[in-house]
């Protein structure tokens, strides 16, 4: 029985690979975009403009305080009502990028705030411009604090990408739903789906742990 | 070089600088002393804009602070500032600390900046510590790197905010020696310190502050041997008792 099911599962492996590819593409693209956007927001949030700080803070709270599934539905079903047509992939990327940016913004801002004011004053006193202070003095030190939680956040976001199956994207999770209709062994199918996610996430988990260990040891810049 | 005219500053309701009028000539070394909380750190932090003044005029190197025409970032490149807590960049080596601003602000070629950075570090007695991180240096060594970091910018003015207060006693003299050397080369300096030996040796003037106001100014000779006010006498008796 299980042998037969395994055999029939083997036949689904091109579909599974496609699903895995979709999950990796979705998370990869939105993590890159979300990291860039999140850094920008984090830097803006600590730039000293109270107006910007509270505007970004409000958005971050809104996103963190609502379920991701609801956010995806809003983007995919409501935006077309307003005349913005989106395919499911673009909608998924937008939703995930936004979610990633909000979490990363908070991590980066916390890192920046952890840098002692004396560091900024020293950079200021030597005539470095605002961007140079950020780039040369503040961010490298903020990264020491931010990098481990940042990588940890990546893992959470990769797993959150499974929610996009709800708008019909054939990612790893949706492949599981499709296959289980043909091979009625949910435990087996979703165990394999789980392994798929784990294979992607585990190296990142190890990386986060390594960074955390190195943080306490290193006095220089933390290198990946 | 530095001129305060009727400068006032408040932190909330606290009047931290009261009608300060004071000028420092080129190549002059002025020591500022006074009890803690007297506003002496705030006074020198105003000069490079780490604090802003509320009213009065503060003219530094011919430029009035707070004027639209005054580019604060540019002016700061002409003013070295040495902090009580050193504030070296912990993620950079000694050599990287002293070359950062010359390379990025002065736009000096890296090789040239590193050559003069090495020279400057050797001059403050750290010729063997180019690649050491701040955490690998003693307090006295860190403060000497901090002084070299300022000197590498070839500033016109050097400000020192209690540069030896965070140091163990045996490290104070190595930092003071470097400061004496800088003074003897003709640097315009304002030094907040209680190191009276340093004041006697190189200062042309001592400024005594209390409760946000300049109470007394004079040559070190006059100030130490014949203080004019009760407050300065009380202060001197406290710091010279031991």
Are the C-beta atoms of A105 and A60 separated by less than 8 Å?
Answer: yes
Q: Which tokens belong to B226? A: 């014949």
Domain contains B113: no
**pLDDT class of A212 with cuts at 50, 70, 90:** confident
Beta B14-24 vs B157-161: how paired, if at all? unpaired
CA-closest candidate to residue B113, choices B160, B148, B78, B143: B148
Q: Give A-chain residues touching B85 at CB under 8 angstroms.
A: 118
A118, B73: Cβ pair inside 8 Å? no
- Write out the DSSP string of A123-179: HHHTT--HHHIIIIIIHHHHHHHHHHHHHHHHHHHHHHGGGGGGGT---HHHHHHHH
| Mean pLDDT of the region B53-58 | 92
Query: B136 touching A, CB under 8 A?
Result: yes
Distance CA B39, CA B158 (A): 18
Q: What is the mean pLDDT of chain B?
A: 93
Facing residue for B153 by CB, picked from A121, A126, A132: A126
Check residue B229 and give its pLDDT. Answer: 92
- More confident: B78 or A219: B78
Which residue range(s) make up the domain with A219?
Answer: 2-223
Q: In what order do the strands lie in the sheet with B14-24?
A: B14-24, B2-11, B55-60, B63-64
Task: Encode pLDDT of A72-105 as tens digits.
Answer: 999 998 888 888 888 899 999 999 999 999 999 9
Task: Count structural domains, chain B.
Answer: 1
Residues 19-78 of B with CB under 8 A from A: 48-50, 73-74, 76-77
Q: Give A-chain residues touching B134 at CB under 8 angstroms.
A: 219
- Report the CATH number at residue B77: 3.40.50.300
Query: B130 touching A, CB under 8 A?
Result: no
Residues 161-180 of A with CB under 8 A from B: none
Domain contains B193: yes
Q: Looking at this predicted complex, what is its ipTM? A: 0.91
Q: What is the mean pLDDT of chain A?
A: 89
Angle at A215 between CA B84 and CA B148, to 5 degrees: 30
Give the distance from residue A175's alpha carbon to the nearest chain B alpha carbon, in angstroms: 47
CA-closest candidate to residue A9, choices A176, A183, A170: A183
Are the C-beta atoms of A46 and A109 separated by less than 8 Å?
Answer: yes
A136, B76: Cβ pair inside 8 Å? no
- B211: left (phi > 0), else alpha (psi -120 to 50), else beta? left
Which residue range(s) make up the domain with B10?
Answer: 2-88+156-240
Q: Which tokens belong to B33? A: 């002393």
Task: Encode pLDDT of B99-135 as tens digits.
Answer: 999 999 999 999 999 999 999 999 999 999 999 999 9
Give the distance from residue A49's alpha carbon to the nearest chain B alpha carbon, in angstroms: 18
Beta bridge partners of B205: B30
CA-closest candidate to residue A189, choices A64, A60, A38, A6: A6
Distance CA A194, CA B131 (A): 48
- Report the CATH number at residue A177: 1.10.3720.10
Q: Give A-chain residues touching B136 at CB under 8 angstroms.
A: 219
**Number of CB pairs, chain A paired with chain B, less than 8 A apart:** 69
Task: Encode pLDDT of B153-203 as tens digits.
Answer: 999 999 999 999 999 999 999 999 999 999 999 999 999 998 989 999 999
Facing residue for A118 by CB, picked from B49, B87, B150: B87
Q: Give A-chain residues touching B73 at CB under 8 angstroms.
A: 127-129
Q: Which among B63, B83, B89, B107 is the top mutation candidate for probing chain A, defined by the most A β-carbons within 10 Å of its own β-carbon?
A: B89
Q: Considering the entire predicted model, what is its pTM?
A: 0.85
Domain contains B105: no
Domain contains B182: yes
Buried (b) or exposed (e) across A121-145, using 16+ Cβ within 10 A? bbbbbbbbeeebbbebbbbbbbbbb
Task: Count structural domains, chain A.
Answer: 1
Domain contains B187: yes
The secondary structure element, H or E, covering residue B206 is: strand B205-210
Domain contains B23: yes
């Amino acid at each position: 029985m299980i042998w037969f099911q395994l055999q029939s599962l083997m036949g689904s492996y091109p579909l599974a690979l496609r699903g895995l590819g979709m999950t990796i593409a979705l998370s990869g693209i939105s993590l890159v975009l979300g990291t860039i956007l999140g850094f920008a927001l984090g830097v803006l949030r600590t730039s000293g403009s109270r107006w910007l700080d509270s505007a970004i803070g409000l958005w971050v709270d809104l996103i963190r305080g609502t379920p991701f599934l609801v956010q995806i539905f809003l983007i995919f079903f409501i935006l077309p009502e307003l005349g913005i047509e989106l395919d499911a992939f673009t909608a998924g990327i937008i939703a995930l990028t936004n979610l990633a940016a909000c979490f990363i913004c908070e991590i980066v801002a916390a890192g920046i705030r952890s840098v002692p004011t004396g560091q900024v004053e020293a950079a200021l006193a030597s005539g470095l411009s605002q961007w140079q202070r950020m780039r040369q003095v503040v961010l490298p030190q903020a990264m020491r604090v931010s990098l481990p939680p940042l990588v940890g956040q990546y893992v959470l976001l990769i797993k959150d990408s499974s929610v996009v199956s709800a708008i019909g994207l054939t990612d790893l999770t949706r492949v599981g739903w499709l296959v289980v209709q043909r091979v009625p062994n949910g435990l087996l199918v979703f165990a394999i789906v789980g392994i798929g996610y784990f294979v992607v996430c585990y190296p990142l988990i190890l990386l986060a742990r390594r960074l955390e260990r190195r943080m306490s040891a290193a006095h220089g810049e933390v290198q990946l | 070089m530095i001129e305060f005219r009727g400068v006032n500053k408040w932190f909330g309701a606290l009047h931290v600088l009261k009608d300060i009028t004071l000028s420092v000539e080129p190549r002059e070394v002025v020591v500022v002393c006074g009890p803690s909380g007297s506003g002496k750190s705030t006074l020198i932090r105003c000069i490079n804009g780490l604090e802003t003044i509320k009213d009065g005029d503060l003219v530094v190197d011919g430029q009035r602070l707070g004027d639209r025409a005054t580019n604060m970032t540019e002016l700061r490149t002409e003013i070295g500032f040495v902090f009580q807590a050193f504030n070296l960049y912990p993620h950079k080596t000694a050599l990287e600390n002293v070359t950062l601003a010359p390379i990025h602000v002065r736009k000096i070629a890296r090789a040239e900046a590193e050559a003069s950075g090495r020279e400057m570090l050797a001059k403050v007695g750290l010729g063997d510590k180019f690649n050491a991180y701040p955490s690998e240096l003693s307090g006295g060594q860190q403060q000497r790197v901090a002084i070299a970091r300022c000197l590498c910018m070839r500033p016109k003015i050097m400000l020192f905010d209690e540069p030896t207060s965070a140091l163990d006693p045996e490290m104070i003299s190595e930092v003071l020696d470097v400061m004496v050397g800088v003074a003897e080369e003709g640097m315009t300096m304002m030094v907040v310190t209680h190191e009276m030996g340093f004041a006697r040796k190189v200062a042309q003037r001592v400024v005594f502050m209390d409760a946000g106001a300049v109470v007394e100014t004079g040559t070190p000779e006059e100030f130490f041997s014949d203080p004019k006010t009760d407050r300065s006498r009380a202060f001197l008796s406290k710091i010279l008792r031991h």
